[in-house]
Amino acid sequence: MAKPKSRELDPATKAYSEGLQYICKHPMFAPLAYHARFVRQEGNLCPEKGWAVTTSHGHIHVHPKRRGLPEEWIYILAHGLLHLGFGHFRAVERQDLWNAACDSFIAKFLYDMKLGQPPAEMDGRVEIAAKSEEELYRSFMERGLPASFHNLGTAGHGFQDMILNPRSSGPSYWNNTDVNWQDCLGKGLTLAVTSAVNVTAGYEEYLGANPDVLTPAMKARNWFISSYPLMGAMAADFKIIEDPALCNRLSISVAAVDAEAKEIYMNPAAGLDEQECRFVLAHEFLHVGLRHHARAEGRDPYLWNVACDYVINQWLMEMGLGAFPRIGGLHDPDMKGLSAESIYDRIVTDMRLYRKVATFRGVGLGDILPPRVPDWWDRNDGLTLDEFYRNCLSQGLDYHYEQNRGLLPAGLVEEIRALSQPPILWDVELAKWFDHYFSPVEKVRTYSRISRRQSSTPDIPRPRWVPDSGDEDGRTFGVVLDTSGSMDTKLLGKALGAIASYSMSRDVPLVRVIFCDAAIYDQGYLAPEVIADRVSVKGRGGTILQPAIDLLEHAEDFPKSGPLLIITDGDCDRLRIHREHAFLIPKGQHLPFVPKGKVFRMD
């Protein structure tokens, strides 16, 4: 006996079945779909050129022969269920305008939700200013129905897709008049939020995704989201890319982070287990959260990356977070407790050695990928994203302590707290430097210069308050101004203006000024008022600052206790300075040597 041929579904039925199956599995629409009844048979209430209509009994009548994509049926069925869930079935004066108002709100809701695909003849995108269906209905009653709101329903042009109190076409138990549809929608919203959290944490697959086995990197990421609040927000926002071909093309041996694209690259060929992936992911999260991508400020990018790696790896080992990778990483117990800036100043003294060490990306390559646009972090998008990263760590730190997740290294806590505070402006720091060296001049009473006599007692001489004689002796400092061609003229003007202003406010009578490029131009002592007025800058050649510093340190007419203020763009050799000093350099630049004084980076 011949075997009967298996009946295959026709394309129209197959697409409809796939869309219905998706809606029944969707956590938001599952409670509504469970109580609704879908009618797809000849002679139902759907118009000939429509897709579907919904009745107040909880029935959705679907066109039995309409061909469409599964995404289109998802949109149509969700539209009908939302009519029930939003409680749109009510008797009003103009039923057609009320139906149009409800269709408009559902179309806006589904467009924002990005669910399904509206058919070609339906307008899926609509802009509405009303806050509710009732407000939009009143607007239609007063002004009429605009043309852009005509094709938003699922019943086709000229028909309403909501049928109020239709005649029963079957047994009474088919009429779901006792169902609380709004309550079903509320349960669906709760399930949708729960499902979103579970998908993010890795407890369930995203609806429509292929169920694959989670990799160690994904398990580690899910662990941060569910169990480690300090970096949970960072983990939820970053995408893990595990493509060995892409990693090889980018020369990533283990891992690297792209803070601009919010992506972390993990090379599966490294063979890390879950504990090692936790360590590496935490390493990359801290790179981004602590703004290492923006704190280089003119330093060598690779050596700065190396310095940050030493700090982060030491913290992670103290925290016991994951396992130090077997393939290696940067760790030196002698650098424990040092900041990244201090470690950088140490390793630049032996660049030949430290250029041979390997980050998680490889030898000579930093695992902080550079931005595609050099000044991206100074633009609006970059500033917004940078603020988001800082907030992730600062809020995560609060949650970490609230949930008693364990002690953290003091240096890490200090850096996170510092990120939540606005940075001190360079001119404020410069003012503090002036306050340290030039305290207010003491004033004394003297009768040698009698003040004006009071009219009530003209015979009584009264003393006057004057600065104490001799207090201004030695009250000066030296300024070495780099006038090479690489110096920005705006920077020179801004620096000299600040110096003149602070000198006058702190009663500094004279300032020793030296211009220096390839030669020395000694300007002698200048009053702050002269500096603030106009100074003719000489030079604009090369950069050799050491002769000017030697001249000031050995000048007989310059006090031995007078500090030095050096204004340069950093394009100079190592300097030998034996007295108190400070540097004024442009923001984003860095000195190629290790200064012992303060460094103020100007905006």
172 has pLDDT over 70: no
* Category of 43 on φ-ψ map: left (φ > 0), alpha (ψ -120 to 50) or beta: left
CA angle 229, 235, 237 (to 5 degrees): 115
pLDDT value at 170 more than 90: no
Cβ atoms 366, 250 nearer than 8 A:
no
List, as one string, the DSSP characters of 117-184.
---TTS--------SSHHHHHHHHHHH---GGGSS-SSS-TT--SEESSPPP-S-GGG--TT--HHHH
Per the model's pLDDT, the better-predicted residue between 465 and 18 turns out to be: 18
Q: Which residues pair with 445 in a beta bridge?
A: 465
pLDDT, position 173: 43
Average pLDDT for 308-320: 93
Given CA atoms 280, 284, 290, 292 in this order, what sign does their dihedral have? positive
Structural tokens at position 581:
């000093």
Phi, psi for 60 (deg, rounded to 5): -120, 110
Task: Place 306 in a pLDDT band, splitting at 50, 70 and 90.
Answer: very high
Rounded mean pLDDT, 505-534: 85
Apex CA 415: angle with CA 409 and CA 419, to 5°?
A: 145
Question: 53 with 161: CB under 8 angstroms?
Answer: yes
The phi-psi region of residue 591 (left if phi > 0; otherwise alpha if psi is between -120 and 50; otherwise beta) is beta
Query: Percentage of the chain with pLDDT > 70?
Result: 86
Pick the more confident residue, 532 or 367: 367
Report how far residue 484's alpha carbon sits from residue 569's, in angstroms, rounded to the nearest whole number.
9
Q: Which residue has the tokens 């009732």?
A: 134
Contact 316, 283 (CB under 8 A): yes
* Whole-prediction pTM: 0.50
**Sign of the C-alpha dihedral computed for residues 578, 580, 585 and 590 taken in this order:** positive
The full set of domain ranges for the chain reads 11-188, 216-419, 471-602
Is pLDDT at 80 greater than 90 in this prediction? Answer: yes
| 536-553: pLDDT as tens digits | 666 666 678 888 888 998
Q: What is the mean pLDDT of residues 589-594?
A: 72
Q: What percent of the chain has pLDDT above 90?
A: 18
- CB distance 259 to 393 below 8 Å: no
Pick 471-602's CATH classification: 1.10.3720.10, 3.40.50.410, 3.40.50.1000, 3.40.50.1580. 3.40.50.410
Assign 3-class secondary structure to 332-364. Answer: CHHHCCCCHHHHHHHHHHHHHHHCCCECCCEEC
Average pLDDT, the chain: 82
52-61, 79-88, 321-330, 397-406: the lowest-pLDDT one = 397-406
Pairing of strands 59-62, 52-55: antiparallel
**CA distances to 109, 327, 371, 386, 566 from 382, in Å:** 31, 34, 10, 6, 32
pLDDT at position 1 over 50: no
Output the pLDDT for position 473. 61
Q: Which residue has the higher pLDDT, 303 or 474?
A: 303
Q: Rounded to an integer, what distance in angstroms lies between the CA atom of residue 383 and that of residue 334?
A: 35
Helices (H), 228-332: 229-237, 244-249, 274-289, 301-319
pLDDT band at 453 (very low <50, low <70, confident <90, very high): low
Distance CA 482, CA 545 (A): 7
CA atoms of 487 and 467, how far apart (whole Å): 39
Q: How far apart are CA 38 and CA 51, in angstroms?
A: 13
pLDDT digits (tens, 9 = 90+) for 202-253: 555 555 544 455 788 999 998 998 889 899 888 988 999 998 888 888 899 9
Contact 83, 110 (CB under 8 A): no
The whole-angstrom separation of Cα 156 and Cα 54 is: 13
Place of tokens 């509504």: 32
Sign of CA dihedral 396, 402, 407, 411: positive
Query: What pLDDT is recorded for position 60?
Result: 93
Pairing between β-strand 263-266 and β-strand 255-258 as defined by DSSP bridges: antiparallel
